[in-house]
Chains A and B, each alone.
Chain A
C-alpha cells in the first residue's frame, strides 16, 4: 500500500498503472474488497495526495480526488446536478476521478460541457477531451478535470424510486458559445456517456425542441439491462431530452438570452 503525500509522488507510484488499484473515496472499491471480488495487489491511496483542490474561474479546474459534494458547491449546471447524487454521505466520500472511471453520473455532464481530463500513466501526462478519455480510461490516473463554464445548463435523470440503483437514463444539456450541446448517459450499466450530434445539428438548424429531441435515437445504442429495456430507453429518451432542452429555453428566457 502506498499513501503518497503529493501529486508528484502519486504519479510516480502509479507509473503505468499495471498491477495497481487506486483507492480514492473507496465507495466502489471497498465493497469489492470486503466481499472478496477484488484482491488488490498494490493499492494507491489518494487521500493525502493533494489532488482534491478546486480552482474556480472561467474554466473550473477540479482535482481528481475532489468529492462530489465539494464539486456540487461550485460547479455550473449540468455538472452540479450530476454531482448531487441522492445520498448525502456518499456524496461526501465519492470522488470525481472515481466517478469518471466507473461511468458515473458526471460523465454526460462533462461531455455536454466539453470538459478535458488531465491524467498520468504510460507515456506521461495527457490532456484529453472527456469523450476520448472515457472511451478508454484504463491505465490512467485522473489528476484533474478542466470544465469550461457554459452560458446555461440543465441535468435531468430518470431513476428508479430506489435511490441507490444506477440511473435508467441521464441527460445533460449546455448552452456554450458555439451552440447547444447534448449528452446522455445510462444507456447501459457502466456504458460511457455519449454526445448527441444529431440533436445538436437539428437545434443549430432551428428545429423546435421536441423535433430536435426526437433525433436522439440516431445518436445512441441503448441496451437491455436489469434497470430498463433498450425499447424503454429509446421511447423515454426523446421525452427526457426535450424536457432538458425546455428547461434550457426557460433559463434563456429568464436571463433574456433569446
Chain B
C-alpha cells in the first residue's frame, strides 16, 4: 500500500488492517499523533487525510491507497510555527500537550474550510470530538478564533526548554 505522508511517498510493510496511527508512530517515527483511547473518541490521534481531519486510530492501511496524510510534524517547526500554532502558544492553549496535535490539525482544517474568520460556536462544533483534560477549552477556543482572524498578540510564551536555558 502506497500513500503520501507529509509530502513524501511511503510504502508501508504493515498488514491491511493495521491502523494509520500505528504506521505513523511505529513505522515512520512520527509521534505527533497520539495513541489515546484508540476507539475514535478522544481525538488525540487526529491527522489530515486528503485535507480533512480524520482519526488515524480508525483508519486502516487497506483504505489509504493514494491518500495524502498530513501530521502535526508538517504544520511548522520551532522557528516557523504555523498561524494556528502561534495562536495556541500566545493564548496558552496547551498545557500537557497530548491533545494539541489533534486540536491544531482540526483547527487548521476548519479555518481552511471556512476561508476566513470563524465563530466560537463553529469551533466548538468542529473540535467537539477532541478532548482536553487540562485547559478547560476556553483558551483553545480563544486561540482558534484569533488565528482565524489573523490576530497576533505578539508575545510568545517561552517554551519549557527556553525557561531552563536549554534552547535559545
A30 touches B60 (CB 8 A): yes
Residues of A near B62 (CB, < 8 A) are 1, 3, 23, 43, 45, 47
Which of B38, B58, B106, B125 is within 8 Å of A93, CB to CB?
Answer: B58
Distance in angstroms from B66 CB to nearest chain A CB is: 10
Residues of B near A45 (CB, < 8 A) are 16, 62-63
Distance in angstroms from A51 CB to nearest chain B CB is: 14
Q: What does the 1/0 interface line of A89-102 toward B look like (CB < 8 Å)?
A: 11011000000000
List the interface of chain B (C-beta within 8 A of A): 16-17, 19, 38-41, 43, 46, 52-55, 57-60, 62-63, 106, 125-129
Q: What does the 1/0 interface line of A33-65 toward B look like (CB < 8 Å)?
A: 111000010010101000000000000000000
Residue of B nearest to A164 (CB): B41
User: Given A88-B128, A88-B129, A89-B106: A34 and B59 within 8 A (CB)?
Assistant: no
Task: State A247–B143 Cα separation when bound (angstroms).
Answer: 37
Distance in angstroms from B10 CB to nearest chain A CB is: 18
Residues of B near A34 (CB, < 8 A) are 19, 38, 57
User: Given A1-B16, A27-B58, A90-B129: A47 and B63 within 8 A (CB)?
Assistant: yes
Task: State A23–B54 Cα separation when bound (angstroms).
Answer: 16
Distance in angstroms from B73 CB to nearest chain A CB is: 19
List the interface of chain A (C-beta within 8 A of B): 1, 3, 23, 25-27, 30-31, 33-35, 40, 43, 45, 47, 86-90, 92-93, 163-164
Distance in angstroms from B7 CB to nearest chain A CB is: 22
A27 touches B40 (CB 8 A): yes
B128 touches A30 (CB 8 A): no
